[in-house]
Structure 1
């Protein structure tokens, strides 16, 4: 039985032990963490440090969980990736939040120390933590159970201070005064990691951070930071100007010519039954159920081509190549696998029918041979 999106959100949050839904997402190319927070009761949420190239993934998750995105926040103007804030604003109407000190274009929520960004019954407190850059912010959850530190504090490290207004003395003051002053049990979620570490805590960093923990003094910290010799991030030439536009592309990408595709959180291109019905004469509808199901009481889309999933690879020559493909099954599960196989085989214009024939029938569209329940 299908579960409504609002119920999914409640169940997902309950699995984490409360009324707050929290998801940590990762971009492997840049080692960047993106964070999704949502208040279950209101379904309002925040996205922190979105990555431009991961927009489809993030938007799919937000839509699948039926989250009303209040704002897309950045911890700073990144030098290693372009933010996805503008794309998310264009897709959802969410505010674009960044430190006012950065002065970037298209920011609708210029943030300063002490501000609070609310999402439903929850909020994050904005703490200015400059030193890596002038515009670095840390977002602290209202109950101080977690904080999103960007590049100010990393797991057993911290952000560099050798460009983009960096200053080691300033970063020391920010970290000790605004982050390590939080309760020791507060979990710290960094902007990046490159070795698989995803979270730390105030208590851990006070003891184990080699740059500022233990008995380290400001003199020790500054000496360490000023002695570091690091290459510039490889995407800096595109990231910094891109982030001064809040991630808005100089030229907007063209919408796919053949269909208004959406992507599921699993990464599959999908189409709705309504669109397929309206454009069916221009498509090949490929049914990958068994012959027994195809001719059974559930019915079939008129004019659809039957190739059962186990036979798909061996009968690929039977699939027309002069028109796009929409793949269907009962629920969208087997057709999802078939869609993946067809994409790998080189079919560029292929999509899964979202919800399968079950959704098709539920939305009132006709199926040949269907026997009413």
Structure 2
């Protein structure tokens, strides 16, 4: 599909850079997860019917594991959060629980692909995504958010890669053996931890060697700069916003945005209302224009080739004006109303994601 193809704004296909539907299916619909996704559910933000309603052609599907009590206790420790974690900080039971949950969620995704009769495909290349978009198949990229399930020797990373993993966030907002994830704080800078451990730095190198995208979202600021110094790939934050507009620890400073732009990287705008609002409140009565405001700021800082969507559907509170995956046409219409022409809309909606994935995966 040509990125310059002229179509009505509401018909522009969308590639969304982050959702947590696999965790929701695992937690609430595990016994019938495939049917729940394919047939649709009354709860949550995302399923196959609503993706079709929203003209979503594909996206990055995250495996996110809720914190084990032992991990949560470690994350509450200021000493652990600001220092290099050790195996003693994270009991074996926590690692086993994380691996079990990760394998369960990946199994759900593999079963959805198998049962979909060609309607869903796990994509391992940008060419796969383009072929899916041309045929009307839902293009899914496998992602792990928070590397608690991984070993420090890269053995499980090889297994996950063979299963289709092409994107990895070494950290969620908690410490693990690979570094200090940025905690949720407002107002706050993202400089809240000691960044990547030596194992975390090696994980970035291992991902570079395998051409796995390294996701900067949920890294503290030192971890961001550690990654920038090591990585030979474009810098990508799949679901993060502008700190200048919302002073959340999870958002990106202008200096970080400049570094992303320098590498021809990418930022996916997060629709979670606390990361959009200037007051940081978790209030669903938030205008769709807050998303537009961050898109416009990021376009100015990163450039029109480096901005797209990273909604965080099924992982956060959405604006009432957007609500769920069926809401993407309303957002595209809001951008068109601001004067965004077809070429820029195509870039934001899917083209910029495809560009950075091609650059990262080596196509």
Q: Structure 1 length as normaliser, TM-score?
A: 0.26
Q: Which has the larger radius of gyration?
A: 1
The structure with more strand, counted as a fraction of residues: 1
Q: Taking CA–CA contacts closer than 8 Å with sequence separation of 6 or more, which of the two structures ends up with the larger relative contact order?
A: 2
Q: Structure 2 length as normaliser, TM-score?
A: 0.27
